[in-house]
Structure 1
C-alpha cells in the first residue's frame, strides 16, 4: 500500500517506521502547507497527524483528491461535520480516533463500564488528570475529552467538563500537565469520604499509537464513509 504522511513530526516518523516494517511504501511526507500544495504524487491512503489549525485543510486536500484519510490530530473536531459532508460529496473515506492505541481503546471501554456503575452511586465525585509531552499543543488531550464525554453521558451529576480542577458539582474537572518526554497518561478517579476508585492508562512509547494508525489505514482500504475505532475493533 502507498501511504502519504501528512504531518512529519515524531508521530509521522514512528508511523513511517511501522508502515515500512509492514511492507508499505511512503510516497510522501508533508510537513507544511507549501509542501502539501506542491505535492503531485499518488497514494492509496493518507495518514494525518499534524496540528489542530492545519488538520481540516489537510483532510480536505486528501479527500478532494480521492485519497482516504486516517487522522489522529485532536483539537479541531468542530469541523468534523464538514469532513462528513466532504466524504459524501467525493465518495470518500475518513477514519478518526482521538487515540489509536489498542490499549487506550480497551481503556475507553473500561471507563464506560465503570461510569455506568458509578452513575448509580451516591457520595462519589469524579475527576481526571492527563499528562503529555511538552510539544503537545492542545489541552485537554483528545483522549481526555473522549473519556470525559463518555463519563458525562453516564454520570447524571455531570453536565460539562472544564480544563481545570473545580468545586462545581455539575462540572468534570480535567487537570492537564505537560512534562518533557511523556508519551501520555490518563487517570480517572472517583472519590468519596470512604474510599477512592481509580483507573489509569500509561503509554510507554509512541509505537502503540503508530501501529494502530497503520492498521486503521489497512482496514480503511476499499471502504467509503466515516469510521472510528469501534468500527474496526472486534470487541
Structure 2
C-alpha cells in the first residue's frame, strides 16, 4: 500500500515507522515546510492518506484528498463541529473516510468497556461519575478528543447525565472532565464512579505513540479498497 502522510510531526513519524514495518511505502510527507506539495498530482501516487495535523487544517486536508480520489484516515481532533461536512463530501464523491479520536486498539477496547459500564451504572443512582485525562503539553485541544468520545458514550448510556463540562460540574446532570497537561505523556484517561461506600474506576494509560500509529495503519489498510464512512469499531470487528 502506498501512503501519503498529511502531517509529519511526532505522530506522522511514528506512523511512518509502523507502516514500513508492515511492508507499506510512504510516497508523500506533508509538513509545514512543504505545504505546496499537497496537490492532486502528488497525492495521486497514494492509495490512502493518513491525516494528523490540527483542528484548523483538518477539514481542508480531508476534503481535498477525497476530491482528488484518495480515501482518508484522519486522527486530527478538535473539529467535531465540521465533521458532517467531511462526511457529506465522502458520500458525494464516493470515497472512504474514517475519523477517530483515538486509533489505539487498547483505547477502542476501553471504549467498549466504558459503554457497558455506563449502561450497568444506569440503575445505580448513588454513584456519580467523573473523568480525568492527562496529555503532553504540546496537545492543542482540551479536553482531548478521546475524553470527549468517552463522555459522549457515557451520556448515551447513563440517562441521568445530560452534558459534559471541563472542570467542576454546575449541576447534577453534568459529567466533570478534568484535563491535565504534563511533559512527555502520550495519553491517560480515567473514568471513575464514586459513591459514599466505594469507587469503581477504569483507566487506560498509553506508554508510547506506537499503539496509536498501529491503529492508524490498520485503519488505512481497512479503508483502502472500501467506500463509505467508517469508525475504528468497523476495523476491529471486521
Length-normalised TM-score, structure 2: 0.95
1:165, distance to aligned residue in structure 2 (A): 2.3
Q: Distance in 1 between matches of 2:46 and 2:16?
A: 14
Separation in 2, partners of 1:127, 1:40 = 48
Does the 8 A contact of 2:40 with 2:68 survive in 1?
A: no
CA displacement 1:186-205 (0-9 Å, x = unmatched): 00000011111100000000
Q: Helix, strand or coil for the counterpart of 2:89?
A: helix
d(CA) in 1 for partners of 2:79, 2:13 = 22
Is structure 2 residue 114 aligned with structure 1 residue 111?
yes
1:83 aligned onto 2:83: no
**How many pairs does the alignment contain?**
235
Equivalent residue number for residue 35 of structure 1: 36
1:22-171 alignment, distance < 5 Å: 22-32=22-32, 34-37=35-38, 40-41=41-42, 42-171=45-174
SS across alignment from 2:56: helix
Counterpart in 1 of 2:190?
A: 187
Deviation at 1:166, TM superposition (A): 2.1
Provide the C-alpha distance between the structure 2 equivalents of 1:34 and 1:10, rounded to a whole number of angstroms. 17
Q: State the SS of the aligned residue for 2:117.
A: helix
CA contact (8 A) 2:151 2:164 kept: yes
What secondary structure does 1:134 align onto?
coil
TM-score normalised according to structure 1 size:
0.96
Distance 2:26 2:140 in 1: 26
Deviation at 1:38, TM superposition (A): 5.2
SS of the aligned residue for 1:3 comes to strand
Q: Which runs of 5+ in 2 are unaligned?
A: none
User: For residues 61 and 121 of structure 1, do their structure 2 counterparts lie closer, same or farther at Cα, with a shift above 3 Å needed?
Assistant: same
State the distance in 2 between where 1:37 and 1:23 align: 24
Task: Give, in angstroms, the shift of residue 167 of structure 1.
Answer: 4.7
Partner Cα separation in structure 2 for residue 204 and residue 96 of structure 1: 22
> Matches of 1:120 and 1:51 in 2, distance apart?
40
Distance 1:121 1:197 in 2: 12
Q: 1:40: how far off?
A: 3.0
Q: Deviations over 1:148-197 (max 9, x none)?
A: 00111111221000111225201101001010000000000000111111
Which region of structure 1 is more displaced relative to structure 2, 66-75 or 32-41? 32-41
